[in-house]
Structure 1
Amino acid sequence: MSWKSADNSAAESVDLVWFSEVQWDFLSTRKQRLLQRFSSRWRILFIEPYALGRSAHWLPVKRGRVVVVTVPFLKTVPFSIGRLLDLAVPRNGIASAGHLVLRFWLMMLGFSSPRRIIGLSNVYWGVVAAGMPCSLRFYDANDDHLSFPGSPSWLPPFLARYLQACSLVFSVSPELTARLQLPEGIRCVELGNGVEYDHFAVDTPEIPSFLAALEGRKLGYAGAMDWVDCELLAGIAGAWPDVHIVLVGPAYERNWWERQEQLRGFSNVHYVGRVDYGDLPTWINGFDLALMPLLRNPLKTVSHPNKLYEYCAAGVPVLAIDYCSALDAARGVIHVARTNEEFIAMIPEALRDNRKAERKAFARQHDWNRLAAEMERELLKSSGRGCL
């Protein structure tokens, strides 16, 4: 069972094994957008975690040139028995079992060569990935992975161990780079997030029937629900009862919407849930105002939001709370509020924003094609394979 590409010889191809913290089909993120744009010389194995209640790929599947397979590991141990992982013996036992599954798929799929490149964004694999023979190890710091809720006390050494073993880091922001406290000798490339510009820059898309049926102005948020400031959303809903607040996207936390009793009490707040990535531009283009009401916490303040560029590529007006430095470069084309009160008061002004062409031009500068080409060049150069 080998998934070697038919149009590349073994000498020409480059193997990449990426340990992801996000499932490939659950949410379209930085990883999928970058890896799908690598050149045909790459063979890519995407190791995704198991998540309770979501589809898993126990047998490998292809997503373009990327092979995806689910390998359960420490992060996926059910919460009811997860406290056992605070003890080294059960933790090491479970890790060993996951490692055996990993080694099986590496061998069966032809990704065992010591010439492979190892990429990590799932910190729980840090110790295992640090010990795997390879020509290059890199870390994709797309978030502060140690600041996620529920991160165990034994996890920081996993990341430290991996950083000691790797030689290249891609970071989405200078704030995150500083927080990592990288060992000496590691090359760091600040590679922010981006947008599939042509996918979102559609001038006359078909608007979803759900949006078309809503009378009045539509204020929308598209993204993961876990990071929205629900108190701010409730403030908007109460202050502007004649507008509709439309929430589009999945939640990592199970039964997230059922827990939002305050938001569910407003008749002008609508939770749509997850929509296909292919349909997302039609939803965003149906917003009269795109919202970025994100939490201001240690996790989000070092982030670099994809949705900023997706909103701008669509050309719709954007209103954001001032939660991260990535917004600074966009202040000429979007509205940014310092406080919840200012955010709510700024809505009428933001709705009148007609800088559509300027927003599209700003988004085009952050197209994924450019970012993927830069990452690919860095990986080839750092692994001793030369440039494209």
Structure 2
Amino acid sequence: MKVIWFSEIKWNFLTHRHHHLIRHFPDDWEILFIENFALGKKSHFIPRRDGRVTYVTLPIFKGTEYALINAIQSNVFFRFLFTIILYAWTKTVLLFTGFSGGSRLIFTSNIFFADIVKRLNKKILIYDCNDYPMGFSGALPIAENYFRKTIEYSDISIAVSEKLLEDIRKYHSAESYTIGNGVDYELFANPGKKEPPADMASIPDPIVFYAGVLSDWFDFDLVEKIVNEIPEVAVVIVGPSISPHVRADVERLSKISRIHFLGTKPHSELPSYIRAAQVCMIPFKRTPLIERFSPNKMYEYLAAGSPVVTMDYTDEIRRLRSEIYVAGNTEEFVDMVRKSLKQKADESVLRKIAQKNSWMSKSQEIVELINKKLLRDKKLK
């Protein structure tokens, strides 16, 4: 089976939902991963191989920090001309890589490919909605229109949360499902080395840990509040700063001796960082984006047997109140960090939650939906 995935992130960026799902697709599925162009990140206009995945860059853009670029992208005349050029470019790439023809599945998680995927022959078009497109700072004014078009053109829409599913069903209620994020359970549940990573070895316990990107939704003030009100803790943060708006916050908190920014780490090394901490946290602001997210980091923490402190951002989190620490506000968040440091977690219970949410099971759910859809379509012919 030939499968094309039109993505909003790069294949060689952080290990994301796309990577995990694709790696658990059936062995006989061959993948073409089409990534967007991103300022400051390496592009691959000549196709590259990574196992059974071929990845290539097409010049599709998301919102940027530059108002002029965003205005040009949103211009109707520009979009019309650009779509013609991009469609021809896409067809050339598909022909060159051996992915032309109609006997193929097409996934999209990038709404700005809507006018392209609509025109391509395919068995099924699947929209994997893993974020709320209008929830990002700098989102293009045309984002909602492309969100609507992507949903209407798709045969199957998959949302990572119940609230995102509600957004999708405003435009198209048929064949829409919730399949949240998951965890590479075997990686994170493996005990591994007992020694902490070298860059955490000198940081005294107790350690409160966060792994993930640092962007507009990250609550830097809450992190500062934790170290101010619990003077014995150190906070360790692993992950890249993907938004220019947070650089000042990172610099400000870097001056506090008990807050440690360790930068980006390979996905395979994250378990050792989690195990070196006493508590893991998800310190986000309440935004439309976060109210619709699915916290895969939570499952990674749980797979490692770590206590988790978070806010009641989503129904997915609220359902786990009896197993994790779920706060309603920042005061409760700090208080629950204190409690989690004093109470020993039942690691077996936490790991069972994570195991039920493995990426393998999530990928199998999607494959099952596709197979059922193909079977129904075959019977109708």
Task: Place the TM-score, normalised by the shorter chain, in its bin.
Answer: over 0.9
Contact 2:38–2:61, Cα closer than 8 Å, also in 1: no
> How many Å separate the matches in 1 of 2:27 and 2:211?
32
Match status 1:325 vs 2:315: yes
Cα 1:122/1:223, change in 2 over 3 Å: same
Residues 1:377 and 2:365 are matched in the alignment: no
How far, CA to CA, are the matches of 1:81 and 1:297 in structure 2?
25
Partner of 2:209: 220
Q: Which residue of 2 aligns with 1:127?
A: 115
Q: Report the Cα offset of residue 223 of structure 1.
A: 0.9
Q: Tell me, yes or no, if the aligned pair for 2:5 and 2:32 is still in contact at 8 Å.
A: yes
Whichever residue aligns with residue 382 of structure 1, its letter is K
1:114 positional shift: 1.2
Identity of aligned residues (%): 29
Equivalent position of 2:255 in the other structure: 265
Aligned equivalent of 1:364, options 352, 355, 366? 355
Residue 287 of structure 2 is matched in structure 1 by: 297
Residue 200 of structure 1 contacts residue 314 of structure 1 at CA under 8 Å; is this kept in 2? yes
Distance change in 2, residues 1:295/1:174 (3 Å): same
Counting only pairs closer than 5 Å after superposition, residues 176-215 of structure 1 correspond to structure 2 as: 176-184=164-172, 186-205=174-193, 206-215=195-204
**Cα 1:111–1:78, aligned 2, differ >3 Å: closer, same or farther?**
farther
> TM-score, normalization: structure 2?
0.92
Moved more, 56-65 or 122-131: 56-65
1:315-354 deviation digits (Å, cap 9, x = unpaired): 0111112211111232222111111011112222111232
The farther-off stretch of 132-141 and 159-168 is 159-168
| Mean CA deviation greater in 373-382 or 136-145 | 373-382
Match of 1:280 in 2: 270
1:284 CA displacement: 1.1
Which amino acid is the alignment partner of residue 239 of structure 1?
A: E
1:140 and 2:131 are equivalent in the alignment: no
Separation (CA, whole Å) in 2 of partners of 1:98 and 1:219 = 46
Q: Which moved more, 1:145-154 or 1:332-341?
A: 145-154
Q: Residues of 1 paired with 2:65 and 2:209: CA distance?
A: 34
Structure 2 gap ranges (5+) = none
Moved more, 295-304 or 85-94: 85-94
| Segment drifting more, 25-34 vs 197-206 | 197-206
Once residues 167 and 188 of structure 1 are traced to their aligned partners in structure 2, the CA distance between those partners, rounded to angstroms, is 9
Cα distance in 1 between the residues matched to 2:293 and 2:76:
32
1:250 aligns to 2:240 (yes or no)? yes
Counterparts of 1:155-166 in structure 2, within 5 Å, are 155-166=143-154
CA contact (8 A) 1:248 1:272 kept: yes
* TM-fit CA distance, 1:204: 4.2
* Number of residue pairs aligned between Structure 1 and Structure 2: 373
Q: CA deviation at 1:254?
A: 4.0
TM-score, L = length of structure 1 = 0.91
Distance in 2 (alpha carbons) for counterparts of 1:131 and 1:293: 42
How far off is 1:258 after superposition?
Answer: 4.4
Q: Do structure 1's residue 36 and structure 2's residue 26 form an aligned pair? A: no
Structure 1 vs Structure 2 CA RMSD: 2.0
Q: How far does the alpha carbon of each residue in 1:6-49 deviate from its partner, in whole angstroms, 9 at most, with x for none?
A: xxxxxxxx111111111122111111101111112211111111
Tell me the alpha carbon deviations over residues 104-131 of structure 1, each in whole angstroms, 9 at most, x when there is no partner: 2111011111121111111111122122
**1:76: Cα distance to partner?**
7.0
